[in-house]
Amino acid sequence: MPELPEVESARAVLQRHALNRPITDVDDTDTWVCRPHAPGAIRDALLGVSLTAANRRGKSMWLDSTGPVLGIHLGMSGKIVAIDESGGETDGGDYWQRGRAPGDHRFARFSLSFADGTRLLLVDPRRLGRVRLDPPVERLGPDARDITPSQFRSALARGTAPVKARLLDQEALAGVGNLLADQILWLAKVNPSRPVDELTRPDLDRLHRAVRKAVESAVAEGGVHTLSVVPARHEGGTCPRCGTPMQRATVGGRTTWWCPREQP
């Protein structure tokens, strides 16, 4: 599933290929991905408009424009595909193990065409992405890549939820998904089931440093699938640091793996 690093790669594609050129056509006919808008409503709002900035907070993206704001959410399998005027393609978004062959647009759910011949597609096999005008991004918490230590302590220290559940709460901390959360907790040596009201100031500071390290590593290396704990998240997997067999449970509604020796 796309987490912050994958969405950042999609935002970068939008930044490079979508800005400051008039929109000449829009395909918004997928009524599920473009809900609650009727077919043609997004097209009518964007024809002749130019996109001016590509923004991201957590897993959500939106584009400022000379007209309305355009929100794009990748869902669980979405990626942005930019097609330049010569037919060259650039992907950004979800990591698919088997990739996507150039020219394979079978799962395109939304598209923009620009005056210079560039096209942008939302390609989403599972059809769980979302495109809408004027999205409610104000409900999201601080971005995990930019959150300050004081913001982080405030976001995590309230209530009694398991720390993994709080890391996954997009209104507390925007951008962390299941794999990032396991990596963060493993780096900080914190048990995923530990209630947040039992976290000490050193625990919170270690967790904040782990968030920054995990996010920056995944952005630099190409996605959450590159994180060091991911290959150990299976039966028979062992801790990458100490070799202890990894333990599995459901925490915060998600499958969770941790080292019982280093994250007691």
Helix (H) or strand (E) run with residue 123 in it: strand 119-123
**Phi, then psi, of 155 in degrees rounded to 5:** -70, -35
C-alpha 25: how far from its chain's center?
27
Residue 174 CA neighbour count, 13 Å, CB half: 18
Q: SS3 for 93? A: strand
CA-to-CA separations, 242 to 17, 188, 210, 226, 264, in angstroms, rounded? 45, 14, 18, 19, 13
Using alpha carbons, list the distances in angstroms from residue 234 to 47, 181, 245, 256: 48, 16, 10, 10
Catalytic residues: 2-3, 59, 254
| 184 exposure class (CB count in 10 Å sphere: 0-12, 13-18, 19+) | buried
The rounded distance, in Å, linking the Cα atoms of 249 and 162 is 13
Burial, 12: exposed, middle or buried (Cβ in 10 Å; 0-12, 13-18, 19+)? middle
